[in-house]
């Protein structure tokens, strides 16, 4: 094997997507993975899709996608001979991955104490529904009930139940966090015995939402409804030949959309239209015929020409024809003799590697895995900032660069100008993504500001950015320029559409990437339009970028080579939405949206006697039962009972059931409290808040999720610049020239 993780040995004991995907990410980075299957085979072999629909466990498309590059061993760990063979594999491994119910490994004699004796240097990655500890440890769950408990099920139509995200996407999310946790644990000392990484799927899903608990807290403080939400405009709309996403992020986007549609008179009515009411109906009555007269490609081309975040809403068929994926060769051939299909390629690319330098001097591992790592954070909004927040949490010195002319746009998410001069410091979404950092303002359009940025880059181990490609290139902070400043630098570039290709300079944010990749097409009611997930693409991208970065850091430790890492956000989103493209390329089938259903279960989301409160429950499928009749009977029963009573009654019968949680209820989940998922910090302007942590615990490892409160704008200007050698007079000159500052210009 080649790749930055060449030489890493992994044993995989998994039965579901989450653990399997964690190991797949390690394979894609060069690790040697031995997958141990029981004599009956991995259950994913029986999932499909199968060529021509003929069930053949040797020709399962999803299994092939998740396990390409792995070596397989068939072992029955209940048999002494096979159990000994499994122990021999584990004794020689660096990482063991498992996703069974808590206690399963212990029953096989492979619990942490057993593994300590077998291989004390091992990292044990454990992925389970709620984690290995806490009052919900042994609580039964299904993918639907986990989505309900974490806030992933959301209202789409006031006349219908809230609906889940489709295509098993949430299961990939936990796997990505698992890979990140395992590689983080490998940076910790092994002297204490086996290092356990305990991943909670509930927490993994919660960690990808835009801080609904913080937003609910904020809305209540403003006297507004706690779960007030407005849909992005225009959202998913119909074109002549399919669906298209038009996702206004700014007031200027809205004005441009109105001009594009020939409806400039609605330019001042954005808020009223977003919140519903007669203005919304009137606007869409005029806009929809205009859009229906144009093709998806025409609307995307025109919208992007106006710099409006516009994208196709691709499904398993159209995604293969998307020019950006096609030009970049992202979807690759797979299968074998007599059967073939296409599947996503790796979620990361390493297009450039620097000339070898003397490897950095090894420092003794400490309690924080990234201690001593210097990171220059040139990110904006969420995906890149999520990665740097993680690095800072566990020891890296992260310098976040903004400017008083153009601060990070994420500061304006959930902040309102009427709140006073410091209103841009009040965004809970910005705060949740920017703990653990020092904040520096620099006007990079000035020579002095750019010079300081270059001096910081010369000191940095890692530089991270997620702008469209031309931004850092215009500033001379692209990879080749960074290498001239520090030859072994690792540059993480996270453009929406990639560094090359016909859509290289397209504008977009999370909803565009989810739409382009197929995430929206698989979400929604079978007889309704595609629906956007709640924007989880950003943190999902950040986690994948973290996996690639940790692999690159390990490679640099061994070889002295720095490198460029390219994380195209539309490619990461496609990696976790693999099944639709596999099925279409194999059989020419675009499966309809499933709503809240899933093969193997009778399940749904049902009303209760509590106003606006829903419950999700699942029972094993029974071919004798008509699902529509099941839904009607269950709904008739649940709507006469309180949500808490329904959940408790179902659980007493061994039936997985959960309340559909919203932001205002996320602080009250006992499992999260028991596992210390939230940590409290005092923000100097907005006061005390409980911020979400990371969805895993490393034992032994860091005792806390975060190290510091989110900074205010330019809070660390003097501290950082004095460390660079700037005098008091130089600082005063920089401030007078507005190269630096602590307040937004013209705020």
Domain holding 15: CATH number? 3.40.50.10540
% of the chain at pLDDT higher than 70: 99
Same domain, 43 and 128: yes
Same domain, 541 and 423: yes
| Lateral strand order in the sheet of 71-74 | 71-74, 32-37, 9-13, 95-98, 123-128, 195-200, 696-699
Q: Does a structural domain hold residue 284?
A: no
Q: Does a structural domain hold residue 338?
A: no
598: tokens are 């899933």
Same domain, 546 and 626: no
Q: What is the pLDDT of residue 410?
A: 93
Q: What is the pLDDT of residue 341?
A: 98
Phi and psi based region of residue 459 (left: phi greater than 0; alpha: psi -120 to 50; beta: remaining)? alpha
Same domain, 597 and 729: no
Q: What is the pLDDT of residue 30?
A: 98
131: tokens are 């984690």
Same domain, 489 and 631: no
Closest CA to 581 of 69, 25, 165, 62: 62
Q: Does a structural domain hold residue 601?
A: yes
Phi, psi of 142 (to 5 degrees): -125, 165
Count of domains observed in the chain: 3
Same domain, 393 and 538: yes
Same domain, 603 and 562: no
Ranges of residues in the chain whose predicted pLDDT is under 50: none
Give the Cα separation of 430 and 408 in Å (integer).
Answer: 9
Q: Does a structural domain hold residue 192?
A: yes
Closest CA to 130 of 178, 207, 196, 201: 201
Same domain, 634 and 728: no
Mean pLDDT of the chain: 95
Q: Does a structural domain hold residue 244?
A: no
Same domain, 460 and 602: no
Give the Cα separation of 512 and 313 in Å (integer).
Answer: 8
Residue corresponding to tokens 């206690």: 103
Same domain, 720 and 607: no
**pLDDT single digits (tens) 540-576:** 999 999 999 999 999 999 999 999 999 999 999 999 9
Q: Does a structural domain hold residue 512?
A: no
Domain boundary among 183, 210, 237: 210
Q: What is the pLDDT of residue 73?
A: 97
Q: Does a structural domain hold residue 405?
A: yes
DSSP string, 62-115: HHHHHHTT-EEEE--TTSHHHHHHHHHHHHT-SEEEE-SPTTHHHHTT-SHHHH
In 222-237, which positions are buried (b, 16+ CB within 10 angstroms) versus exposed (e)?
Answer: eeeebbeeebbbbbbb
Domain boundary among 177, 210, 243: 210
Q: What is the pLDDT of residue 364?
A: 61
Would strands 242-247 and 195-200 be described as parallel, antiparallel, or unpaired? unpaired
Strand segments, DSSP code E, in 195-329 are 195-200, 234-239, 242-247, 310-312
Asked if 740 and 442 count as a contact pair (C-beta separation under 8 A), the reply is yes
Residue corresponding to tokens 């109105």: 258
Same domain, 107 and 148: yes
Is the peptide bond between 700 and the residue preceding it cis, with omega within 30 degrees of 0?
Answer: yes
Exposed / middle / buried, residue 692 (Cβ in 10 Å: 0-12, 13-18, 19+): buried
Q: Does a structural domain hold residue 341?
A: no
Domain extent for 190: 9-210
Q: What is the pLDDT of residue 251?
A: 87
Domain boundary among 184, 210, 236: 210
Asked if 187 and 370 count as a contact pair (C-beta separation under 8 A), the reply is yes
**CA 260 centroid distance within chain:** 32
Same domain, 178 and 203: yes
């Amino acid at each position: 094997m080649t790749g930055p993780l060449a030489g890493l040995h992994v044993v995989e004991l998994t039965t579901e997507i989450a653990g399997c995907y964690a190991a797949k990410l390690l394979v894609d980075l060069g690790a040697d993975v031995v997958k141990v299957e029981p004599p009956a085979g991995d259950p994913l072999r029986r999932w499909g899709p199968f060529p021509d629909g003929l069930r053949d466990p040797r020709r399962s498309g999803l299994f092939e996608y998740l396990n390409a590059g792995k070596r397989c061993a068939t072992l029955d760990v209940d048999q002494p001979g096979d159990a000994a063979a499994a122990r021999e594999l584990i004794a020689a491994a660096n990482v063991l991955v498992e996703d069974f119910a808590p206690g399963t490994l212990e029953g096989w004699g492979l619990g942490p104490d057993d593994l300590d004796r077998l291989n004390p240097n091992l990292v044990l990655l454990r992925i389970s529904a709620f984690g290995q500890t806490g009052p919900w440890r042994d609580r039964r769950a299904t993918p639907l009930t986990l989505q309900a408990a974490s806030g992933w099920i959301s209202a789409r139509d006031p006349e219908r139940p809230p609906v889940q995200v489709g295509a098993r996407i949430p299961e990939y999310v936990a796997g990505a966090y698992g890979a990140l946790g395992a590689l983080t644990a490998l940076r910790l000392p092994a002297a204490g015995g086996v290092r356990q990484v305990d991943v909670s799927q509930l927490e993994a899903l919660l960690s990808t939402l835009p801080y609904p608990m913080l937003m609910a807290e904020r809305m209540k403080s403003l006297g507004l409804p706690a779960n007030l939400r407005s849909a992005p405009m225009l959202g998913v709309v119909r074109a002549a030949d399919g669906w298209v996403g038009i996702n206004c992020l700014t007031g200027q986007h809205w004005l441009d959309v109105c001009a594009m549609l020939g409806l400039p008179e609605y330019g001042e009515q954005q808020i009223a239209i977003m919140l519903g009411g007669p203005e919304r109906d009137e606007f869409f009555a005029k806009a929809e015929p205009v859009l229906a007269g144009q093709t998806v490609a025409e609307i995307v081309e025109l919208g992007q020409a106006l710099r409006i975040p516009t994208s196709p809403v691709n499904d398993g068929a159209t995604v293969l024809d998307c020019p950006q994926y096609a030009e970049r060769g992202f979807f690759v051939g797979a299968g074998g003799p007599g059967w073939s299909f296409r599947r996503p390629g790796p979620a990361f690319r390493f297009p450039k590697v620097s000339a070898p330098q003397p490897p950095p001097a090894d420092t003794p591992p400490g309690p924080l895995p990234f201690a001593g790592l210097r990171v220059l954070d040139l990110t904006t909004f969420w995906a890149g900032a999520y990665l740097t927040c993680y690095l800072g949490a566990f020891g890296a010195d992260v310098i976040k660069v903004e400017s008083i002319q153009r601060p990070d746009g994420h500061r304006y998410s959930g902040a309102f100008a009427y709140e006073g001069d410091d209103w841009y410091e009040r965004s809970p979404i910005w705060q949740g993504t920017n703990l653990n950092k020092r904040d520096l303002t620099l006007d990079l359009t000035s020579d002095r500001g750019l010079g300081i940025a270059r001096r910081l880059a010369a000191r940095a181990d890692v530089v991270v950015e997620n702008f469209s490609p031309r931004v850092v290139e215009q500033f001379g902070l692209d990879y080749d320029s960074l290498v001239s400043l520090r030859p072994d630098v690792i540059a993480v570039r996270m453009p929406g559409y990639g560094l090359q290709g016909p859509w290289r300079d397209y504008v977009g944010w999370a909803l565009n990437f989810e739409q382009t990749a197929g995430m929206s097409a698989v979400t929604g009611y079978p007889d309704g339009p595609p629906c956007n997930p709640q924007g989880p693409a950003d943190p999902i991208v950040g986690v994948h970028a973290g996996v690639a970065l940790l692999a690159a850091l390990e490679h640099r430790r061994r070889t002295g080579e720095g490198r460029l890492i390219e994380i195209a956000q539309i490619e990461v989103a496609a990696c976790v939405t693999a099944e639709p493209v596999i099925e279409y390329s194999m059989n020419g089938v675009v499966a309809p949206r499933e709503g809240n259903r899933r093969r193997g279960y009778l399940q749904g989301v049902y009303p209760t006697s509590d106003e606006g409160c829903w419950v999700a429950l699942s029972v094993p499928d029974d071919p004798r039962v008509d699902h529509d009749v099941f839904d009607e009977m269950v709904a008739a029963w649940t709507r006469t009972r309180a949500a808490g009573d329904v959940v408790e009654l179902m659980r007493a019968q061994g039936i997985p059931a959960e309340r559909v949680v919203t932001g205002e209820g996320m602080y009250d989940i006992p499992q999260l409290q028991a596992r210390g998922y939230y940590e409290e910090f005092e923000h100097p302007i907005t006061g005390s808040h409980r911020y979400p942590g990371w969805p895993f615990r490393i034992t032994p490892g860091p005792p806390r999720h975060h190290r510091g409160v989110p900074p205010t704008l330019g809070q660390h200007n003097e501290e950082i610049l004095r460390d660079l050698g700037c005098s008091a007079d130089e600082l005063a000159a920089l401030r007078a020239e507005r190269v630096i500052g602590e307040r937004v210009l013209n705020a």
